[in-house]
Amino acid sequence: MFKKILIANRGEIACRVAATARRMAIKTVAVYSDADADAKHVTACDEAVHIGGSAPKDSYLRWQRIIAAAQATGADAIHPGYGFLSENEEFAQACAEAGLVFIGPPASAIKAMGLKAESKRLMEKAGVPLVPGYHGSDQNPALLQREADRIGYPVLIKASAGGGGKGMRAVESSEEFAAALASCQREAINSFGDDAVLIEKYAQRPRHIEIQIFGDTHGNYVHLFERDCSVQRRHQKVLEEAPAPGMTEAMRQQMGEAAVAAARAVHYVGAGTVEFIVEQRAGGMTFYFMEMNTRLQVEHPVTEAITGLDLVEWQLRVAAGQPLPLKQAQLRRHGHAIEARICAESPDNQFLPATGTLQVYRQPVCTCFERADGPVHVRIDDGVREGDSISPYYDSMVAKLIVHGDSREQALARMDQALSEFHIVGLQTNVQFLRHVVQSQSFATADLDTALIPREAGVLFHQEKLGLSVAVAAAVALTLEEEKSRETADPFSRTDGWCAHGPSQRRFAFEFHGESQAAQLARAHDGTLQLALGDLRLPLRYTATPNGLQLELDGQRWRLQTYRRGEVVHVFGAMGATQITEIDLLAHAGVAQHEGGRLTAPMPGKVVSFLVKAGDTVSRGQALAVMEAMKMEHTIAAPADGVVAEILYAPGDQVLEGAELLTMAA
Ligand code: ADP
Ligand code: ADP
Ligand code: MG
């Protein structure tokens, strides 16, 4: 076995590989870019080498530097992770020439599967079923048009060199073909430097089902069952699960055998995935080869969860020349697993990627991590910590959340619960969107196909499960709690008219979904609270719990967690999450002008009350008087510590701007 490996990647997959290496007592070397100098993956490894600038082309794609780093640190092998150099045959070859083991398939297998069209020609020979289509090398547009007409619409034009969901165009009719072809070729040449395309029949009610395979250097092959990755946006995976709902044992066996045949045809070694498009018709499901990914896949943890195996350990063993640890007949499946990709993006805004700082990053409790003989319940694979930032240089995936249950229903419930406990503040994420997908009728009933997201759009986007009144109540309760804890430290810190005991009234102003909202909190003699919001009068009770708030609003109970970041209060609950901006009336009224111990009215208006009397000692920021103008209350606060000398007006008096309200002695 290797003594030391270099991990030529970043983020969650670098951390994931490092975790297995550590368990196997293999030393690890990280590589990092400028942007990743303090990244989690660097601290997860035993050593780290800086390899260049933040952009991938200046660091993670500079394979000469990576090979030099491996040689300088005495690593025996390089694990490429996924993305970056993982499917780069030149890199695999260069590793071999430098005397380093590439933890992945031979360069020849990467090359054979690298172009979709060529891989299909190979698969055809190996007897693997292909989607009806055209994958010839003749790229004459007139010929391509004739082929599309022959195949029958709708068709899908794909860049042969494409990947990551890019370079694909669905075409509905013959008339649209020429324009779609030209646009697909443009994207292909820009993104992949190769404008060759292939054409496939667009499958009906398509599902994406893939088979995890493994090969070793002794000619053994196995498959580790399937994963269903049908829930996609822009041809990219959002949720993945295993086993695939509705899969029969017979079909599983056929697909497994086809995948192993595909691997055998290219003398595959290591972990790989054969992706199939599955057509659903009244008569049943038919599968067709789509492409092979010659690396470890993002969604490999669902396979680990149902098999209890560690696929990275298998990769390391195979790369070190050992035979596959198990034979096909020894492989077992247990229960059901689902993975959700948590991304920094804005689902309500066309999934636009988001950047920012993870000001709050709280995870659900992981009841079990990694391979266990018992089942995995909740697992999180990530490459970030609270306080880290999500930069524009790399992809938007923040974490993977993987759950396991005895049944799909159990896994689904666990996923929903774990998502509700995943709290991220500081940037937009798809966490709530993922919950809506998991809760949707289609997903819950396993009515799966790649159009699930557009079909369920009505319940997935612009959903708000926590309304205004709960958001306001949570923000009010949080504010009172914060003041209470400040007061315990400093009993004179009170800055407004709210007294700690006895009856009191207090105004709040908020902004919720772009609209301003006024609220009033009243406390009766007996201490009961009532929140007034528009025409609503809502009895409010709350208790602070170690992790949040237990609210009772108008008789309904809510267990919530709140995080304040400046004026914004982020509220998370079992039902959903929201945020509300608290407008600080004091700050907006401004501190009254203070000239030589005089406190003057900042605007013409009426004096509502004085909160202090002559002789009182006050501290800076403490509320002294309340004025009303333009239907808003304004608090006049002490500009500095001091003693109140004289009160010059009485409540109810009208005053002009600049009128002196009270005087203070320093
Ligand atoms: P997997 O097939 O392993 O589940 P994806 O299909 O989402 O993962 O992505 C495959 C690889 O392509 C990953 O290594 C990922 O980093 C990369 N990738 C994903 N999205 C894009 C994109 N928009 N552009 C370029 N590469 C991408
Ligand atoms: P990539 O290399 O970008 O992963 P794939 O060939 O794997 O490209 O296709 C990506 C996705 O596009 C699939 O997961 C599936 O949702 C959809 N797709 C691909 N081929 C077809 C097809 N023939 N019919 C319907 N949908 C397809
Ligand atoms: Mg694919």
Higher confidence at residue 20 or residue 524? 20
How many angstroms is it from 622 CA to the middle of ligand 1? 55
Tell me the Ramachandran region of residue 246: left when phi exceeds 0, alpha when psi lies from -120 to 50, beta otherwise. left
Within a domain: 447: yes
- The verdict on whether 295 is a catalytic residue reads yes
Nearest to 393 by CA among 143, 52, 2, 640: 52
Q: Which of 35-49, 94-108, 563-577 has the lowest mean pLDDT?
A: 563-577
Contact 277, 113 (CB under 8 A): no
79 and 44 share a domain? yes
How many angstroms is it from 536 CA to the middle of ligand 1? 50
Parent domain of 570: 468-485+495-583
Q: What is the mean pLDDT of the chain?
A: 91
CA distance 236 to 49: 32
The predicted structure's pLDDT at residue 544: 92
Q: Which of 65, 252, 295, 371 is catalytic?
A: 295
Report which ligand 1 atom has the smallest distance to the Cα of 273.
Answer: 2
Closest Cα to atom 25, ligand 1: which residue?
164
Q: What is the pLDDT of residues 3-12, one digit of tens each?
A: 999 999 999 9
Instruction: Tell me the pLDDT band of 605, cut-offs 50, 70 and 90.
Output: confident
Q: What is the pLDDT of residues 308-367, one digit of tens each?
A: 999 999 999 999 999 999 999 999 999 999 999 999 999 998 898 888 999 999 999 776
Report which ligand 1 atom has the smallest distance to the Cα of 299.
Answer: 4
87 lines ligand 2 (CB under 6 A): no
237 and 359 share a domain? yes
472 and 575 share a domain? yes
Nearest to 595 by CA among 640, 557, 629, 633: 640
Average pLDDT, integer, range 187-204: 93
Within a domain: 112: no
Within a domain: 154: yes
Q: Can you list the alpha helix ranges (DSSP code H) found in 354-467? A: 408-420, 431-439, 441-444, 452-455, 457-460
Within a domain: 593: no
- Which letter, b or e, does each residue of 125-151 get, where b requires 16 or more Cβ atoms within 10 Å of its Cβ? eeebeebebbbbeeeeeeebeebbeeb
Q: What is the pLDDT of residues 165-193, one digit of tens each?
A: 889 999 999 999 999 999 999 999 988 99
475 and 456 share a domain? no
CA distance 71 to 328: 37
Contact 197, 177 (CB under 8 A): no
- Which-ligand-closest: CA of 229? 2
Give percent of the chain with pLDDT exceeding 70. Answer: 93
How many angstroms is it from 611 CA to the middle of ligand 3? 68
Decide if pLDDT at 69 tops 70: yes
How many angstroms is it from 164 CA to the middle of ligand 1? 4
CA distance 149 to 177: 9
Q: End-to-end alpha-carbon separation of the chain, Å?
A: 77
CATH of the domain at 659: 2.40.50.100
CA distance 313 to 307: 13
Q: Can you list the alpha helix ranges (DSSP code H) found in 391-519? A: 408-420, 431-439, 441-444, 452-455, 457-460, 468-489
- Residue 512's CB is within 10 A of a number of other CB atoms, namely 17
298 lines ligand 2 (CB under 6 A): no
CATH of the domain at 481: 3.30.700.30
- Which strands, in side-by-side order, build the sheet including 168-171? 133-134, 197-201, 155-159, 168-171
CA distance 315 to 217: 11
Q: What is the pLDDT of residues 235-279, one digit of tens each?
A: 999 999 999 999 999 999 999 999 999 999 999 999 999 999 999
CATH of the domain at 32: 3.40.50.20
Q: What is the pLDDT of residues 223-243, one digit of tens each?
A: 999 999 999 998 999 999 999
The predicted structure's pLDDT at residue 593: 45
Q: What is the pLDDT of residues 412-463, one digit of tens each?
A: 999 999 999 999 999 999 999 999 999 999 999 999 999 999 999 999 999 9
